[in-house]
Structure 1
Amino acid sequence: MSSQTRLTKAYKEAKRISFTNQDKFILFSDCHRGDASFADDFANNRNIYMHALNHYFKENFQYIELGDGDELWENIFFKTIFEANKNIFLVLQKFFNQGKLHMIYGNHDFIFRNPNTVKRVLSEYFEPREGKNVPLFPGIKYNEAIVLENSETKQEIFLTHGHQADFMNYVGWKINRFLVQVLWKPLQVWGIKDPTSPAKNYVELIKVERRIKKWIAANGNKITITGHTHRPRFPKPQDNALHYFNDGSCVHPRSITGIEIVEGTITLIKWYIDTTDNGTLQIVKEVLEGPCKLDDYK
């Protein structure tokens, strides 16, 4: 099965969510939530991500995660990830309880494509204060892709992780997972990068982007938003470019990036730690690109 066939299959089988120009979504991907060890790339940005989550929940956003939310290659058990990031999962639970949490699996959390695994791992957790298991995400569904469909304009936005365009991270993901667990995780502590990841291998990154753009060109220049490569992408509508977006990642050095879809517009944003004039640290949001009207992407 080619990358084009895999992307087409993901699109055709995608969960469909109807929205209007009054709705608000925040898209993050590639959080790679880990176990807080020295090999945990997410650890440095945990507080930034937590602050952003609370902001979006208070502002009535829906949360969509475009894959690789949890680092389940370096970490064998979800329990260790949960214990290191319990406060974050409890904020995500608030979105879930209001029907505003939508999850897509990527190559690093590929195990969540199995509904039985999702049910066993994510339905509940042990709460020491109560001495029993309590609900976490009972009945949650993970999808390979989501299509947002504007009920007013009928415009579609195709959301997926993007690893469909990466043979070894889709078909050969178990091999790559094994190599990460036994080889690259220990070496990462010493600063040696994993060459199997397109996020750390520029040649592979370009190949993945080229395959995704080829699919977009063959499918009516449909707005497509992915993660996987960790490289933010935001085409301007007036450039007549292919409508390929990428929300970046939550493991950039000292910052996280994402995409906001707000009241019929799309914006690439960054959250990071800044200092005030008196030296006080604060977490702030910066607009990197946009906002642009979705209607302008024809």
Structure 2
Amino acid sequence: MGENCTRSKDFIKRILKTGKLIEFDETSRIVLISDAHRGDGGYADSLRQNRNIYKAALGFYYENGYNLIELGDGDELWKNKDCLDIAYNYKDIFEILNKFYEKDRLCLVFGNHDIVKSNPEFIKKQEKLFENTSYGFGREMMSLYSNIKFYEGAVLKFTPLNKDIIAFHGHQVDLINCDMWKSSRFLVRYVWRFMEGIAGFKSPISPASNYNKGNKIDIILEKLARKERKMIICGHTHNDIFPEPEEGLYFNDGCCVFPSAVTCIEITNGEISLVKWEIEVGSKDILYINKSITGGPEKIWKYLEFARSL
């Protein structure tokens, strides 16, 4: 794909053909997390407030044998021109991601904010930047990014029923953030980023900051799931969505940058769930990170049967 993005009506076929195939059954464990927006550690780094929650979640999923699918916008490469500051500030996170990779349990999907990672030339440019720095950091990020493949989407094949679930970021149906992503990146990098930090201004081009825009994209993706008669899992809008069986086929894992919360989607025991990680106050006013289920669990076969009935 190489940094190109078009809202082609055939992008689903493209993902089915070129996406990462992940077969799973009732014994498999999969987690889908998107929109971490790992940044430079400064005021415009959206993940900064949630980094410990995010790290705790990744650690849990690694220790408990989950396959991790990062469903786009893992790195904030609209606000940041390169990966130097990201690698420096999130060294510990990339150490965990490398552990997933070494166990062949990691799939990286790019979104609009990190679409440049789909271009091999961008990765080569980052390698040269790190080679030329005298600070000696970045090994954790570049050892991963120099070897792993970045996908536009993933195809999760539920082997007991031989049916596919399609997972992709979701920007593919968003004109401003797909066809016009370079113009949008310019505005975010040189206008909205600074207004956000100075005055708390929310970018009007971001579905995450504009509820009406985000909701419209969610509606489009729900219609697409029904049209394709397939379960679809996305991120992008930052709206966590979990339909009841026989009500919908479109799921959204939310994001990692909610105020004091990280949301994601788990697939375990042949069931799908929406999960929230957040800071709670325990006894004696001790803070701890709590994991709770906010949607499901529901049997995957129920949604696949609903899709077949459409």
State the TM bucket, normalised to the shorter chain.
over 0.9
The corresponding residue for 1:200 is 209
The letter for the 2-side match of 1:216 is: A
The corresponding residue for 2:183 is 175
Q: Answer whether contact 1:125 1:136 (CA < 8 A) is retained.
A: no
TM-score (norm 1): 0.93
* Counterpart secondary structure, 2:278: strand
Q: Answer whether contact 1:67 1:103 (CA < 8 A) is retained.
A: yes
In structure 2, relative to structure 1, the CA distance for the partners of 1:101 and 1:123 (3 Å cut) is: farther
Instruction: Provide the alpha-carbon RMSD of the alignment.
Output: 2.2
In structure 2, relative to structure 1, the CA distance for the partners of 1:2 and 1:51 (3 Å cut) is: closer
2:200 aligned to which of 191, 197, 212: 191
Q: Answer whether contact 2:28 2:268 (CA < 8 A) is retained.
A: yes
* Counterpart secondary structure, 1:271: strand
Q: Answer whether contact 1:29 1:67 (CA < 8 A) is retained.
A: yes
In structure 2, relative to structure 1, the CA distance for the partners of 1:184 and 1:15 (3 Å cut) is: same
* Counterpart secondary structure, 1:170: coil
CA distance in 1, matches of 2:40, 2:108: 20
2:48 paired with 1:55: no
The letter for the 2-side match of 1:287 is: I
1:226 aligned to which of 230, 234, 241: 234
Q: Answer whether contact 2:87 2:137 (CA < 8 A) is retained.
A: no
> What are the ranges of 5 or more consecutive residues in structure 2 without an aligned counterpart?
1-5, 306-310
CA distance in 1, matches of 2:119, 2:213: 27
The corresponding residue for 2:114 is 109
Q: Answer whether contact 1:107 1:173 (CA < 8 A) is retained.
A: yes
* Identity value in percent: 38
CA distance in 2, matches of 1:251, 1:131: 25
CA distance in 1, matches of 2:64, 2:110: 25
1:116 Cα shift?
3.5
Matched positions, count: 295
1:257 aligned to which of 255, 259, 263: 263
TM-score (norm 2): 0.89
Q: Answer whether contact 2:91 2:138 (CA < 8 A) is retained.
A: no
Once the two structures are superposed, residues 172-208 of structure 1 have per-residue CA deviations (whole angstroms, 9 ceiling, x without a partner) of 1000000011100000112000000011112211221
CA distance in 1, matches of 2:138, 2:35: 31
2:31 aligned to which of 23, 26, 29: 26
1:247 Cα shift?
0.1
**What are the residue-to-residue correspondences of 1:150-165 with 2, within 5 Å?**
150-165=158-173
**What are the residue-to-residue correspondences of 1:210-221 with 2, within 5 Å?**
210-220=219-229
* Counterpart secondary structure, 2:176: helix
CA distance in 2, matches of 1:112, 1:181: 17
> What are the ranges of 5 or more consecutive residues in structure 1 without an aligned counterpart?
none
